[in-house]
A and B are shown apart, each in its own frame.
Chain A
């Protein structure tokens, strides 16, 4: 039997604007995934611990405040330290193109979704990425 895809949707940093994170969480749930939403103001340590405990295959980080260059590398480093390199990390929010390219190339982020990204596109991206690594 097919195991449901488990996703942690995390709101990182001090920003409280959770509209996007909540919409994504619902859309992934409606697409049949198991979604764990962390709530607000999660540090990288809290996010990685939650990902470990919940045994997720995907982490979706929502960052709108411009703090992505400080937060994402720390999350990726902690994942490596815990041997969780196989977790698919996605970033959604206000991330300029140059930063998005660097997060993917240098940090190993699988996908960066900017404003206007379609929900369906994100669902498809997760499914196809996990199929490739399975």
Chain B
């Protein structure tokens, strides 16, 4: 199918559609230009960006997602990254932590420290941030179902460092809806999960005002195989759901909306991605002003982090991934991202090596300081093609949002498997296009080479699992068991009632209750969730 006999190849026709299947014309003209363009960057509805002077005022934050093995090893990597000029930290947790199990739980076997750092207790968090002043370095934490537990530990570390809560900056991912939709790292059912997220939003609003309590994420939706339009639409509709719950809690929209942040993917289709970011800003600004009556302009501004597309990286010819990542990162910058993670060339294989992650960071630094693209806000604004694509993506995303509204919101939509099925269909369609050679992946279904490129991979220390198991066992022997039990009892009562759980979580982590114990306590109150899988 792929190679004709003798290696003769028919020249390839270029695609007549975007990566997400939006038809594209050979050329665009002035009829495509939107009336929104009279609004410069920094003005509603912010199609062209949320700041008038964009990156001249402040460059995007270069934030490489990182974590592996033990807190000791990850702490060393953080010190290295900060020395290399990285400007914020982003913590990757391992699967047991993400699923609310301690390292020595039977389900953790073989998974400890593999996909991120293992955190069992406050003791591990103290080690993770040793020598890192939390008042100066912003910290993003990619965790969802146990996000409240991990955030309580982070706040407790800040207390020990003597840093007041209002000096803390960073982002908690804490986006449970996209877990039900795409990444599937959920513990409790949707409604109690939403209540816990709302607890964190309320607590942040009152006490940790510079911290973003939720990062409403399209990244994982895209990685699960969605189109760009689905990524945008489902993410913004998730955002609506969080706003609805926080408003129902009694918060004024302008109290918390300025601290909602977003997280998008940067995939291969250069213009489609830039158009997606521009449409995202416009839809969100209009939703916040018109649907929720937000009056503070900070509530209207969609701020977002971007990560280049992990799913676009190939196992074959891994050095090609450097080029893919550079193009994707450029799209994110031209689309006005506030922070950026560039993937490393070896990430189709493993967590990145120090060499590979440095090259990925250098890619951002070259875009920032050598290409000169950051000097002008929305430099592609007015491009006939880009404007037409922005309008088309907006139209298609709004259509999805209205359909989900009609289902009664995102939770009923999730319960009837609507976003999950849409994504499964899109990902199957994409794979079929690759199989048919309608979609070319260089090095995979075209331009293959037989000589393997050898790259050096990060080896996760096989003793990490044992070390973490021994540490948590020793902690359990050392701490005051009666105080732990009392704190967990109070947490259980608060969770069963309608109090905000955050103060009770803080009390539990301060006496070194573990992630597993706290999540088990909440499992006892809320139960667990099992999805009905759709193919």
- Tell me if A65 counts as interface (CB < 8 A to partner B): yes
Contacts of A116 in B (CB 8 A): 314-316, 441, 444
Contacts A16-B185, A40-B184 given; does A115 touch B314 at CB 8 Å? yes
* Interface residues as binary, A1-40 with B (CB distance below 8 Å gives 1, 0 otherwise): 0000000000001111111001101110100000101011
Stretch from A47-55, A66-74, A80-88, A104-112 contacting the other chain? A66-74
Stretch from B384-392, B427-435, B496-504 contacting the other chain? B427-435
- Tell me if B111 counts as interface (CB < 8 A to partner A): yes
Q: Are A14 and B435 in contact (CB under 8 A)?
A: no
Q: Are A26 and B428 in contact (CB under 8 A)?
A: yes
Contacts of B460 in A (CB 8 A): 66
Q: Are B349 and A69 in contact (CB under 8 A)?
A: no
B160 to chain A, nearest CB (A): 30
Q: Are A23 and B111 in contact (CB under 8 A)?
A: no
* Interface residues as binary, B99-113 with A (CB distance below 8 Å gives 1, 0 otherwise): 101000001111100
A118 to chain B, nearest CB (A): 6
| A12 to B, closest residue via Cβ | B110
CB pairs A–B below 8 angstroms (6 shown) = A13-B111, A19-B427, A22-B427, A27-B431, A116-B315, A116-B444
* Interface residues as binary, B432-464 with A (CB distance below 8 Å gives 1, 0 otherwise): 000100000100110000000000010010000
Contacts A71-B110, A116-B315, A120-B435 given; does A94 touch B427 at CB 8 Å? no
- Tell me if A114 counts as interface (CB < 8 A to partner B): yes
Seed contacts A23-B225, A25-B535, A39-B533; 18 additional CB < 8 Å A-B pairs = A14-B101, A16-B183, A16-B184, A16-B185, A18-B533, A19-B224, A19-B311, A22-B533, A26-B428, A26-B535, A27-B431, A65-B95, A66-B110, A66-B111, A70-B109, A96-B350, A115-B315, A116-B316
Contacts of B424 in A (CB 8 A): 22, 26
Contacts of A66 in B (CB 8 A): 110-111, 114-115, 350, 460
Q: Are A65 and B114 in contact (CB under 8 A)?
A: yes
A16 to chain B, nearest CB (A): 3
Contacts A19-B427, A26-B535 given; does A94 touch B349 at CB 8 Å? yes
Q: Identify the 5 closest CB pairs spanning chains A and B, nearest first.
A: A70-B110, A16-B184, A67-B110, A14-B95, A115-B315
Contacts of B101 in A (CB 8 A): 14
In the bound complex, what is the Cα–Cα distance between A67 and B462 (angstroms)? 11
In the bound complex, what is the Cα–Cα distance between A35 and B311 (angstroms)? 25
Q: Are B184 and A14 in contact (CB under 8 A)?
A: no
Q: Are A94 and B457 in contact (CB under 8 A)?
A: no
- Tell me if A119 counts as interface (CB < 8 A to partner B): yes
Contacts A19-B225, A39-B531 given; does A14 touch B348 at CB 8 Å? no
Q: Are A17 and B184 in contact (CB under 8 A)?
A: yes
| B108 to A, closest residue via Cβ | A14
| A23 to B, closest residue via Cβ | B431
Q: Are B535 and A14 in contact (CB under 8 A)?
A: no
Contacts of A39 in B (CB 8 A): 530-533
Contact of B531 among A22, A40, A118, A120 (CB under 8 A): A40
- Which residues of B in the span 395-443 have a Cβ within 8 Å of any Cβ on A? 424, 427-428, 431, 435, 441
Contacts A25-B535, A37-B535, A120-B1 given; does A18 touch B428 at CB 8 Å? no
| B99 to A, closest residue via Cβ | A14
- Tell me if B335 counts as interface (CB < 8 A to partner A): no
Main secondary structure on chain A at its contact with chain B? loop
Contact of B533 among A19, A37, A114 (CB under 8 A): A37
Q: Are A119 and B114 in contact (CB under 8 A)?
A: no
A73 to chain B, nearest CB (A): 10
- Tell me if B223 counts as interface (CB < 8 A to partner A): yes
In the bound complex, what is the Cα–Cα distance between A3 and B266 (angstroms)? 45
- Tell me if B96 counts as interface (CB < 8 A to partner A): yes
Q: Are B110 and A96 in contact (CB under 8 A)?
A: no
In the bound complex, what is the Cα–Cα distance between A32 and B424 (angstroms)? 19
Contact of B223 among A13, A19, A23, A27 (CB under 8 A): A19
Q: Are B348 and A119 in contact (CB under 8 A)?
A: no
Q: Are B183 and A14 in contact (CB under 8 A)?
A: no
| B179 to A, closest residue via Cβ | A16
In the bound complex, what is the Cα–Cα distance between A65 and B476 (angstroms)? 28
A21 to chain B, nearest CB (A): 9
Contact of A14 among B1, B96, B349 (CB under 8 A): B96
Contacts of A23 in B (CB 8 A): 225, 427-428, 431
Contacts of B109 in A (CB 8 A): 67, 70
Contact of A67 among B111, B183, B223, B428 (CB under 8 A): B111
In the bound complex, what is the Cα–Cα distance between A57 and B109 (angstroms)? 27
B281 to chain A, nearest CB (A): 28
Contacts of A17 in B (CB 8 A): 183-184, 223-224
In the bound complex, what is the Cα–Cα distance between A69 and B349 (angstroms)? 15
Q: Are B348 and A94 in contact (CB under 8 A)?
A: yes
Contacts of A70 in B (CB 8 A): 109-111
Contacts of B111 in A (CB 8 A): 13-15, 65-67, 70
Q: Are A69 and B110 in contact (CB under 8 A)?
A: yes
In the bound complex, what is the Cα–Cα distance between A71 and B109 (angstroms)? 8
Contacts of B427 in A (CB 8 A): 19, 22-23
Contacts of B98 in A (CB 8 A): 14
Contact of B114 among A19, A40, A67 (CB under 8 A): A67
Contact of B184 among A18, A71, A96 (CB under 8 A): A18
